[in-house]
Amino acid sequence: MPTLEAGSSPGWRASGFTLLELLVVVAIIAMATAGVSLAMRDNADSTLEREAQRLAALLESARAQSRTSGIPVVWRAGPEGFEFQGIAPGAIPNHWIGSDTVVRGTATLLLGPEPLIAPQSVELSSVSRPDQNLLVATDGLRPFSVQANSKP
């Protein structure tokens, strides 16, 4: 005749997780969350790089619109952002994503309508990190691209 161990019953089985197992899972989730949040932090370097990439794309878009319409397009930097003259208002954004981006010097670019334009560039800088500069430039034949500024 089978016998039962002391303190057990025939219908009872151990199920679920122990407290230690749950604490390990919570600790792993906390470390993963901390790692992801640190990896997603946005610093001034990546913000300026993103603004420069965005400006290069906007300049190429305005250049294409100028070539398509045959109307000259001029890009001018202003204190609050920038403007595209020769394109309908609101067709292309005219502001920076963040308030930290500024244009160094006087920047005016002629974007068309000719397929070949003069070599042009605009220097972007960060207010919070004035030592960091990026150049959005074209040689007149290639598209605008972001380059590290080699000026001291």
- Please write the tens of the pLDDT for every residue from 11-37: 656 678 899 999 999 999 999 998 887
Average pLDDT over residues 55-72: 93
Say which residues have a Cβ less than 8 Å from residue 102's Cβ, sequence separation at least 6.
124, 125, 126, 127
pLDDT over 60 (residue 52): yes
Higher confidence at residue 2 or residue 95? Answer: 95
- Go through 126-149 and write b for each residue having 16 or more CB atoms within 10 A of its CB, e for each that does not: beeeeebbbbbbbeeeeebebeee
Rounded to the nearest integer, the mean pLDDT of the chain is 85
Higher confidence at residue 129 or residue 29? Answer: 29
Higher confidence at residue 92 or residue 2? Answer: 92
pLDDT over 60 (residue 43): yes
pLDDT over 90 (residue 60): yes
